[in-house]
Amino acid sequence: MHTATSDSYKRSELPTAGKHPIILPRKHPVSLLLVRHYHISVFHQGRLITEGALRSAGFWVVGAKCLVASVIHNCVVCKKLRGHFATQKMSDLPIDRLEQASPFSHVGVDVFGPWEIVTRRTRGGQAASKRWAVLFTCLTIRAVHIEVIEDMSSSAFTNALRRFVSVRGKVKVFRSDRGTNFVGAIDNIQADAINVEDEPTQSFLRKSGTIWMFNSPHSSHMGGAWERLIGVARRVLEAMMLNVKTLTHDVLTTLMAEVSAIINSRPIVPVSSDSDVPDVLSPSALLTQKLECDQPPLGTIDIKDLYRAGWKQVQYLASQFWLRWRREYLQTLQERRKWNQEQTQLKIGDVVLLKDVEVARHCWPMGRVTRVFPSVDGRIRKVEVCVIREGSKVFYTRPVVDMVHLVGS
Backbone angles phi, psi at 284, to 5 degrees: -65, -25
Highest mean pLDDT among 9-18, 50-59, 303-312: 50-59
Per-residue pLDDT band at 180 (split at 50, 70, 90): low
pLDDT at 14: 65
Q: What is the mean pLDDT of residues 112-138?
A: 83
**Predicted local confidence at residue 198, as pLDDT:** 47
- Is a pLDDT exceeding 80 seen at residue 127? no
**Mean pLDDT (the chain, rounded):** 81
pLDDT at position 138 is 93
Q: Return the pLDDT at 44.
A: 93
Between 359 and 297, residue with greater pLDDT: 359
What is residue 181's predicted lDDT score, i.e. its pLDDT?
A: 56
pTM score: 0.75
- Please tell me what DSSP assigns to residue 222: G
pLDDT score of 303: 44
What does 31-51 look like in DSSP terms, one character per residue?
Answer: HHHHHHHHHHHTTS--HHHHH
Please write the tens of the pLDDT for every residue from 292-309.
544 444 444 444 444 455
Provide the pLDDT confidence category of residue 173 given band limits of 50, 70 and 90.
confident
pLDDT value, residue 109: 93
214 or 144, which is more confident: 144
User: What would the mean pLDDT of 326-345 be, rounded to a whole number?
Assistant: 81
What pLDDT score does 291 carry?
60
